[in-house]
């Protein structure tokens, strides 16, 4: 049974169409939205409850930038920023240390949720055998490789050529990962090629693209009917600003300064609505919470900072899952 915390969040999500004029940018506004119907569609799974730490009081963040029309989801500034540190992807103590620390928890959610969706045994060594995945914005492949070891036939794509070169070099060191197909391309290009996958995964990417709505439409187009889309990002909350920017970038120096822009963060309400308009229905959502005493991340019902969501695409009437 879903916890009281998740039920409260679900009620908040269901009220989003009434709050859109105050909280969404112009691109998200739609007077004909049927968003409240999600209350009867979403199946929420409860994760371990955690006590809420006292929020830090950082300086006021900048206001979100107005939406701009773009024919591509690429953000050239973000591409240049990550290209400059691409050689450090597999340095567990380098700029990508937070992702390395979070990776086991991200994989735990992906494994359990996708196994439920595709009716696979999560306890077997290679539960994703026979499934085709794509990791959009794969970086150096720190998520792509373990998914390949779990049996998935997987493609890793990234718009930064240096990232793909690093990913290929590292994958060649492990026979179980050498079958990964890495490509320097974009989700939009794959859509033009009419490629489709059982599961489309894009973690910590949407907050770095120029057009989140267009990006999600591309992810949906890459997902087969009856397939799944998994996205993780950062909530645009004051607590997220305090922890992921003020603390992580300026106080603890876990990340290079300027890694994140608060105005580009996406709230859970916005993500659910964006995905719904791309024909993806969110089925599960969980938060990532860091325990400073153990130095580990764990899944939680707290989605106030880092969170991950799994959505599904309706199956055609003549299609069924394996």
Burial of 2: CB neighbours in 10 Å, binned 0-12, 13-18, 19+: middle
- Residues making up the binding site for Mg(2+): 204, 207-208
Per the CB < 8 A criterion, the answer to whether 146 and 263 are in contact is no
DSSP string across 56-101: P-PPPPPPPPPP---SS---HHHHHHHHTTGGGTT-TTSTTHHHHH
- Residue 306, token pair as written in the block: 């880092």
Q: Which residues contact 153 (CB under 8 A, 6 or more apart)?
A: 130, 131, 132, 133, 179
Cα distances (angstroms) measured from residue 19 to each of 15, 31, 34, 39, 316: 7, 11, 13, 16, 33
Per the CB < 8 A criterion, the answer to whether 198 and 224 are in contact is yes
- Residues making up the binding site: 106, 137, 158, 203-204, 207-208
Per the CB < 8 A criterion, the answer to whether 199 and 135 are in contact is no
User: What is the rounded CA–CA span in Å between residue 89 and residue 99?
Assistant: 9
- Residues making up the binding site for S-adenosyl-L-methionine: 106, 137, 158, 203
| Beta bridge mates, 153 | 132
């Amino acid at each position: 049974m879903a916890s009281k915390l998740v039920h409260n969040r679900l009620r908040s999500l269901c009220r989003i169409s009434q709050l859109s004029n105050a909280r969404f940018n112009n691109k998200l506004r739609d007077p004909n939205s049927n968003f409240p119907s999600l209350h009867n569609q979403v199946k929420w799974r409860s994760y371990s409850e955690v006590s809420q730490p006292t929020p830090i009081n950082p300086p006021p963040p900048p206001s979100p930038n107005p939406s701009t029309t773009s024919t591509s989801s690429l953000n050239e500034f973000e591409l240049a920023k990550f290209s400059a540190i691409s050689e450090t992807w597999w340095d567990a103590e380098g700029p990508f240390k937070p992702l390395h620390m979070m990776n086991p928890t991200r994989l735990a959610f992906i494994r359990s949720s996708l196994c439920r969706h595709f009716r696979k045994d999560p306890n077997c060594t290679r539960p994703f055998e026979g499934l085709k995945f794509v990791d959009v914005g794969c970086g150096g492949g720190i998520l792509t490789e373990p998914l390949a070891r779990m049996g998935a036939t997987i493609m890793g794509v990234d718009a930064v050529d240096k990232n793909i070169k690093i990913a290929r070099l590292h994958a060649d060191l492990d026979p179980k990962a050498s079958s990964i197909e890495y490509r320097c391309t974009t989700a939009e290009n794959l859509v033009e090629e009419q490629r489709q996958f059982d599961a489309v995964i894009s973690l910590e990417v949407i907050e770095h693209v120029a057009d989140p709505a267009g990006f999600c439409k591309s992810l949906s187009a890459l997902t087969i009917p009856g397939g799944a889309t998994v996205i993780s990002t950062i909530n645009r909350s004051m607590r997220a600003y305090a922890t992921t920017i003020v603390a992580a970038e300026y106080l603890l120096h876990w990340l290079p300064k300027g890694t994140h822009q608060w105005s580009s963060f996406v709230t859970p309400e916005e993500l659910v609505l964006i995905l719904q308009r791309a024909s993806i229905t969110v089925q599960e959502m969980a938060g990532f919470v860091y325990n400073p005493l153990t130095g580990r991340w764990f899944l939680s019902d707290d989605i106030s900072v880092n969170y991950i969501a799994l959505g599904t695409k309706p199956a055609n009437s003549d299609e069924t899952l394996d």
